[in-house]
Every structure is written in C-alpha cells, then in structure tokens.
Amino acid sequence: MRHGHITSVGMPRLASKPQAITASPIRRIAALLDEARRKSDIISFGGGAPSLPPPQEVVDFLVDFLKNNPQKSVAYGSTRGMIELRELIAQDLKKYWGVDYDPKDEIIIVNGGTEGIYLALSAILEPGDEVIVLDPTYLGYHEPVKLLGGRVRTVPVTVENGYQPRIEDVKKVISPLTKAFILLSPDNPTGRVVTEEFVRGLVDLAVEHDFWIVFDAVYKHISYGRPTPWVDSFKGARERTITINSFSKEASIPGFRLGYVTAPREVVEVMEKIKQYVSLAPDTPGQIAMIKFLESGIKDRYLQEVVIPTYRKRRDFMYKCIQEYLPEAKTSLPEGAFYFFVNIEEYLKAMGRDDEEFANRLLYRKSVVVIPGRYFGEMGKNHIRMTFVSEPEERIEEGIKRMSAYVSSYM
Amino acid sequence: MRHGHITSVGMPRLASKPQAITASPIRRIAALLDEARRKSDIISFGGGAPSLPPPQEVVDFLVDFLKNNPQKSVAYGSTRGMIELRELIAQDLKKYWGVDYDPKDEIIIVNGGTEGIYLALSAILEPGDEVIVLDPTYLGYHEPVKLLGGRVRTVPVTVENGYQPRIEDVKKVISPLTKAFILLSPDNPTGRVVTEEFVRGLVDLAVEHDFWIVFDAVYKHISYGRPTPWVDSFKGARERTITINSFSKEASIPGFRLGYVTAPREVVEVMEKIKQYVSLAPDTPGQIAMIKFLESGIKDRYLQEVVIPTYRKRRDFMYKCIQEYLPEAKTSLPEGAFYFFVNIEEYLKAMGRDDEEFANRLLYRKSVVVIPGRYFGEMGKNHIRMTFVSEPEERIEEGIKRMSAYVSSYM
C-alpha cells in the first residue's frame, strides 16, 4: 500500500499523480545555475529572467504609495483583482491588439502566467482529455496537464522550418479526446512567432473539432519584427480562446508574480471559483505598481526605449557570434522572446556526447551555462537553448568564443 | 454534450468538477460588503481581515530596499522560497513552539495559507478519499477537497461545548477512506483553541487509522490566553502532520499572499513539484519584508504591544456588549482568532427568519454587517459570525445596540 521510494515508514500515503509528474528539468537547470554561481567568471546563457531593472517611475510610485498608505498597500484584494487595473488592461489590449474585453467579466488577474495556465487548464480539463502542444515547447505545460489527469500529444517543429508548426501536423494528432491546443507565441525556447496563416488554420480546426485554444502570450511585447498574431481577433476564435498574459516580461517584475487572463465570461467565472481555493487573490502591491505602469505611458516608453532596443541589440549580436564562431550550428533568428534554440548535432556527433552531457561539460570546462534542449521535449535533443538577456555584448562574444574553443578541440 | 447553464453556444465544454464546487458564500459575503460600502455609517462585524497597519519598521525597511535594489526586489525567487527566510522561520518555530524543522527540506514558502491548504491537499488526496473537518468551519476546506475529487465528512461542534470537538464524534466518521483531518486552531469562525487532550486523541486516531493531520495554524499567534497546542510536538504526529502558517494575520500583510508550510520532507518535495506548475514561486518583496519582520525582534514587539492588546480589548468589550444588549444570544468567549460565533436562535424564532435573512435585513435596516453562520456549515445555521477587528470600541457598542434595537422589536 505504500510507495516505498517516496513515503517514509509511518507516513500515510501521498497522492499518486503529483508523484508521477517530473520536476527534474527545472531542478536540473536550477542546479546548473547554483553550481554556476559558485564558480568565478561564469557566463550565463541559461536562465530566462528579464535582466533589466523595472521602470524607475514605477518603483518610485510604489515606494511613495507604500510610505503614504502602508495598510492599503498590503490589504486583501478581490479574487479577480482590482477593477481599476482590469480597466487599464482592457484599454491596453484594445490599443495594442484591437480587441475589446469587458474588464468586469472577461479579465481575471492571476499570480503570474504560471497560475494563469494552471487555472485555465483546471477550468477545462477532464481526466482523459488530450492537450496538444508543440515539441519543443515551454517546460510548464506537460506536467499540469498530467496533474489534472490529461494526456499530452505533441506536434514536432524543426529548425529547418524556422520552428514553425504546420497545420497538417496538427491534424495528425487531433482525436475525439482533443480538448485544447496550447500555443505560445513568441515562443520559449525557439523565439518563433507563429504566422497568421497558422493561426487561421488552427482556429478553423478548433471550431471543427470543438476544442479550446490556450494562447500563451506572456512574451507578446517582446518581439523584434512583426508582432504575434492575436488569436482572439480571428473569426470564430473568441468563444474558444483563453489568453494568458504576464507582467513579468513586459515590466521586468517577475518577483511580484502578476499576470492576467482573458477568456469568455463563463471561463473567467470558473477560474475565479478555482482561484478562491488556490490562492485567494493576486498580490496587492504588484497591482498598485502595474496600475502606474499602464496608466501613464510608462509602458510604451519602457518597451520602446529600454527593453526592445537592449534585447534586439543583444539578439543580433548573439546571432552574428553563433554564425561566426559555431559555423556547424543551425539556428533560426528569434522574432520574439529571449532565446536562441540551437541545433548542435554536428558538434555532438564529433564529441560523442548528448546535449545534457554537453551542457554539464561546458559549464565544468569553460564556465558557460546553456540549457540542454531535451528539457523542452523529444525534438529538443541535440539542441541547446541560449538566452541573450543575461549578458552584455562583450560577454556574449566571450561566452561563444569559449564554446567554440571547447567544440573545436573535437572537430 | 454541453452544460447549458455555463457554456455559451459554440464554446467547448468546461471541466465538471469546478462547476460543481460553490463560490457562493464568499461571493455573497463580498456582495454584502460591497453593498455596505455604498451605504453611509456602516458598522462592519463582517470581513476578517487584520485592521491594523503592518509594523512601520517593516514598511520602512521594504521602502528602502525597493529604492536601493529595485531589480533584486522584484526578481524571480526559487519555488521553495528564500533560504534566509526559511532559516528565520525555523528559528521562530523553535522559539515559540519548541519544534525543530530543517529549513532546507521541511519548510516551503507558499502564496498565502490558501495555497498552503491547496498544495497540501493536492499532495495527499486521491479521488474518493475522505477528509474530516469540523462543522462549522472555515469556508475554504470543502471546495478544494471536492475539486481534488475527495469527499468531506463533518464532526459537529456546538456553543454548549464551547465549540470544542470530541474525540468520540471524530471516531464516528472515520472510515477506511479517511485520508486526512483538517484542524484549525485557533478557529474561524468560533475562536476556539482546541485542548491538549483532543490533539492527543486525534494523533492517536491518525496513527491507528493511518491518516494525515492538516493543522491549519494561520491564527497561531492571535490568542488571548493559552496558546494552541502544536500538533507536531505530540508523539507520533510529526510524520503525519502538515502545518499551514500565514504571515497575513501575524504581520497584517494579507495583500502579499505569503505563508509557509512545514511537513515531512517527502511532502515538501511533492508540494514543491506541484507549486512549480501552480504559481512557480512566492512573492519576492513580501519575503524581503518578512525577513525583516522575523530577524529583528519586530515580530515580538508588534504582537505583544500592538496586535494582541488591541484585539483583546475589543474582544472583551464585544463580549460584554453581546451579554448586555443581546441577552438571548449564546456564544463562547474566543480564546483566539478574530471572531465571535453567536447562536441567535431565540431571536430568529421570534422573528421567523433564518440567519441569512437576518444578516441581509440587519444590513438594510440598521447598516450593520454580520456573516450568516450557515456559510460555515450545516451546524452554523441560526448563528452569525461577528468579527471584532474592524471597529473600535465605541463603534462595537453602537453596532450591537443597533442589533439590539432591531431584534427587540420582535421580542
């Protein structure tokens, strides 16, 4: 009756599903980074946290607010979040994406994109339901689906195709059990922004086969060329789309755990019910800060003058360095998000190593952190993910030179 | 195939369990309070949020930290929370309750007590498992148990017995399916602190029948006489107890959504895995503030000089007023938490109303907010919950005088 490997003598049983899910990729990345911190002169292409400070005006505003209204700053809020913030979010979504949402009924503030995904999946999944994701994809989709009793089906994407998914590949995995498709655009780990054509095809399939689209738009403002298509603006999409948004990347405030979800009012209602018992309410000080961020033009300036120029320069520079110093690597210039997903098969073959061994050895030998591609899915094998947000240009060059020196000795 | 009442035309199906849970009591309370805010001269015995400002030194510290380290203040943290904070928590628990916890493996920071409960139940419950709670009890236990596919069994407590549960009543509902008992002490809504004898008996039953004790200790420092027994300090309890703690009540910072859970390391490990996909990490600024709260003696001073004297005075005063102005009401002097749970059966009989109608009418007629007892369980019918934290003494008297005037007209 006991699970020997997890339960101590005398302890009652634990639930089986959470034991079956894996925490390992995230833990292994954390372990890599912990290890990295102990070494000197580490160059990190690892963690994907925003590396810029939050907008100074927002910090100043929050500091003043805390000083002048300490009790109000840390009071309980409602489960859906402050209506003032939801109204500003509705205006912001209208301005950028041309779509109208009712701030009262179609927007709910959540404790980060992670809670957004969890609540959305909780609101729609029955045990046995299937959820389609791309492969490779973000680490955080497979396990919550499994926790909720669902099953993941994958659609492969490859560097040869610029990591763009193809509708014909989606069709192959649709079944009567298909309940949702999760679309992340711009994407982690590939930096891909999907095409209008793909979204059109996906929405048609969703209508035809009656499934939800969970549109994860947490990187929506981190793009360097054309913006991501907005799923809700496609005919037929609105009543079957749940869109996940985060302030973490746009405002560089991941520690506040603050995001929001738009969805049909019936879905928001169910998500709110679940959220009452999962986290009760979003963070109050973070909401106060984000009201300032949205209401005063700070967001536009911060994105256009600080975030995008900084990240774009580093992206272009990293691309040049990869091409120059790692000529056998294959990658695709990211149109958004923070990452290059790099196929290093040629080097791995010569070295007789897999991508995980490569990442471990590279850290040990050259003090450079990269993330093994296999952590993002079966198709991620023989790849590595490299973020360009953590290091300035000269360190990007130095890091890639070290990688080059390391692989050259085998070629 | 569609749930007509919740799904719009064209919308794919939603999950069934979240639709089956109820959000109504919390919503109805929120609606009462919203209504209340629109009226003038409302006296609130309703919401149980701390009414004191957080400690000024903690606010000052956070303000300075934000000013001097804006980026660090809002950076991602790890899923278990900052190790510095966990170490201070371990020292604090040792000091107050004499129990040793390993800060690395037996403590996890959570996004408020609510997330603590949710993660704890997620870590242990299988569909079909039974969870025992007292009746009346906190609103937030039944629904997460149901969401996770479990079933709630209840043990009645009554004002005649000072709302103390009896071991023989617990025995009556234990079955082979019993997976956990949730114990809240000090209690919401009754203010009861359980006896050592009850905890001893409960732990013996948990050992004998192999179930978990989820000890909800969010009000642990809000007590006016003897402190709550600490479940973990009873022989045999440690390996089957998960303890939920919150900073919301102790530090008056509910808006930061910050608490922590102690449990056997195997449970913490599973909770961490689930938390990675539910909320990723706790709030960073809140953790910084709570490091200050714990490390510098502020907590002791704040509790002993501000929180407890303020609330105790109001408690004693409200007790006197209830006895004087509502002589037919029966209640029990709360030993902890924020609330009187008042049996008003005699008045309701005379009025021909139930407790919910009473609360609605009282607000409409006399602008006084109380919470209907039925929201806390079947046994709560004919009761009302009255908090003494929201109003100062003269307003407490005024409010109860209004209640008296209202019921007198029927007697």
Same domain, A77 and A187: yes
- B372-383 pLDDT, tens digit per residue, is 999 999 999 999
The answer to whether the beta carbons of residues B320 and B380 sit under 8 Å apart is no
Q: Shortest Cα distance from B217 to chain A (angstroms)?
A: 17
Assess whether A347 and A244 both reside in one domain. no
In a mutagenesis test of the A interface, which of B74, B124, B232, B375 is the best target, namely the one with the most A β-carbons within 10 Å? B74
Contact between B54 and A70 using a beta-carbon 8 Å cutoff: yes
Search chain B and give the residue with CA nearest A273: B23
Asked if B63 lies within 8 A of A59 by C-beta distance, the reply is no
Residues B320 and B378 in one domain: yes
Give the residue from chain B lying closest to A53, CA to CA.
B71
Whether residue B277 and residue A112 make contact (CB cut-off 8 A), yes or no, is no
Q: Are A129 and A108 in contact (CB under 8 A)?
A: no
Predicted pLDDT at A2: 37
Q: Given an 8 Å threshold on Cβ–Cβ distance, is B255 in contact with A10?
A: no
Within a 13 Å sphere around the CA of B80, how many CA atoms are in the beta-carbon half? 25
Looking at the structure, tell me whether residues B333 and B192 fall in a common domain: no
Q: Would you call A276 and B49 a contact, using CB atoms and an 8 Å cutoff?
A: no
Those residues of chain A that have pLDDT short of 50 are 1-7
Domain shared by A31 and A98, yes or no: no
From B296, B316, B340, the end of a domain falls on: B296
CB atoms B12 and A74 under 8 Å: no
Are B108 and B250 contained in the same domain? Answer: yes
Do residue A26 and residue B211 have CB atoms under 8 angstroms apart? no
Identify from A122, A139, A182, A277 which residue to disrupt to test chain B contact, counting B C-beta atoms within 10 A and taking the largest count: A277
∠ CA A231-A234-A235, nearest 5°, is 140
Interchain pair B240, A12: CB under 8 A: yes
Please give the pLDDT value at position A4.
Answer: 37
Of A248, A253, A272, the CB nearest to B23: A272
Q: Residue B3 domain-assigned?
A: no
CB distance B110 to B116 below 8 Å: yes
Backbone torsions φ then ψ of A306, nearest 5 degrees: -115, -65
- Between CA A127 and CA A144 the distance in angstroms is 12
Q: Would the CB atoms of B67 and A54 count as touching at under 8 Å? A: no
Last residue of a domain, one of A262, A280, A297: A297
Question: What residue in A sits closest to B30 (Cα-Cα)?
Answer: A78
What tokens were used for B241?
A: 């107890």
Same domain for B38 and B150, yes or no, is: no
- Residue A10 inside a domain? The answer is no
Q: Over 80: is that where the pLDDT of B50 sits?
A: no
Task: At A268, list the tokens.
Answer: 């928001």
The alpha carbon of residue A184 is apart from the nearest alpha carbon of chain B, in Å, by: 16
Pick B26 or B12 by higher pLDDT. B12
Number of domains chain B contains: 2
| Residue pair B153/B178 in contact by the 8 Å Cβ criterion | yes
User: Which residue type sits at B63?
Assistant: V
Of A42-46, A376-380, B35-39, B185-189, minimum mean pLDDT range: B35-39
3-class DSSP state for residue A133? strand
Cα Rg of chain A (Å, integer): 22
Same-domain check for residues A163 and A226 = yes
**Which residue carries 């701390």 as its tokens?**
B50
Q: Which of A22, A78, A117 sits opposite B30 (nearest CB)?
A: A78
Q: In this complex, do A76 and B7 lie within 8 Å of one another by their Cβ atoms? A: no
- A270 plus A315 within the same structural domain: no
Q: For chains A and B, count residue pairs whose Cβ atoms are closer than 8 Å.
A: 261
Residue B307 belongs to a domain: yes
Read off the CATH number of the domain in which B160 is found. Answer: 3.40.640.10
B6 assigned to some structural domain:
no
Give yes or no: residues B155 and B221 share one domain. Answer: yes
**Which tokens belong to B327?**
């002589």
> Residue B3's pLDDT is what?
38
Q: pLDDT value at position B20?
A: 81
Kindly provide the b/e burial profile for residues B17-40, where b requires at least 16 CB atoms within 10 angstroms of the residue's own CB: bbbebebebbebbeebbeebeeee
- Whether omega for the bond prior to residue B186 falls within 30 degrees of 0, making it cis, is yes
In this structure, the answer to whether residues B144 and B216 fall within a common structural domain is: yes
Task: Return the residue in A51, A74, A238 with the most chain B beta carbons within 10 A, the one to mutate for interface testing.
Answer: A74
Q: What pLDDT score does B28 carry?
A: 67
Residue A171 distance to chain B (closest CA, Å): 18
CB contact under 8 A, A256 and B285: yes
- What's residue A21's pLDDT? 82
Give the number of other Cβ atoms within 10 Å of residue A38's Cβ.
Answer: 7
CB–CB of B54 and A71 under 8 A? yes
The rounded distance, in Å, linking the Cα atoms of B67 and B65 is 5
Residue A147: both structure tokens together: 């926790």
Residues of A with Cβ-Cβ distance to B143 under 8 angstroms = 273, 276-277
**The last residue of a domain, from among B296, B319, B334:** B296
* DSSP letters spanning A371-405: EEGGGG-GGGTTEEEEESSSS-HHHHHHHHHHHHH
Q: Looking at residue A19, what is its pLDDT?
A: 84
- Per-residue pLDDT band at B26 (split at 50, 70, 90): low
Residue type, A184: L
pLDDT band at B1 (very low <50, low <70, confident <90, very high): very low
Residue A383: inside a domain = yes
- For B206-270, give the secondary structure using H, E and C: HHHHCCEEEEECCCCCCECCCCCCCHHHCCCCHHHEEEEEEHHHHCCCHHHCCEEEECCHHHHHH
Residues 6+ apart with CB under 8 A from A393: A313, A314, A317
Rounded distance, CA B315 to CA A223, Å? Answer: 57
A13 chain-B contacts, CB cut-off 8 A = 124, 126, 179, 210
Q: Verify that B374 and B284 share a domain, yes or no.
A: no
Do A382 and A399 contact (CB within 8 A), yes or no?
no
pLDDT at A410: 87
CATH number of the domain within which A372 lies: 3.90.1150.10
Buried b (16+ CB within 10 A) or exposed e, B371-387: bbbbbbbebbbbbbbbb
For residue B9, being part of any structural domain is answered with no
Please tell me the predicted confidence (pLDDT) of residue A1: 35
Q: Compute the half-sphere exposure of residue A17: CA atoms within 13 Å on the CB side of its CA.
A: 22
Range of the domain at A379: 16-53+300-408
Nearest CA in chain A to B63: A63
- B31, part of any domain: yes
Chain B, nearest residue to A52 by Cα: B71
String of DSSP letters for B146-186: HHTT-EEEEEE--GGGTT---HHHHHHH--TTEEEEEEESS
Percent of chain B at pLDDT above 70? 94
Residues B353-406 pLDDT 10s: 999 999 999 998 999 999 999 999 999 999 999 999 989 999 999 999 999 999
C-beta atoms of B18 and A62 within 8 A: no
Instruction: Supply the ipTM of this predicted assembly.
Output: 0.94
Number of alpha carbons in the 13 Å side-chain half-sphere of residue B164: 16
Residue type, position A257, single letter: R
Strands (DSSP E) along A259-323, which ranges?
259-262
B315-337 pLDDT tens trace: 999 999 999 999 999 999 999 99
The shortest CB-CB distance from B276 to any of A14, A26, A282 is to: A26
Instruction: Evaluate whether residue B2 is within a structural domain.
Output: no
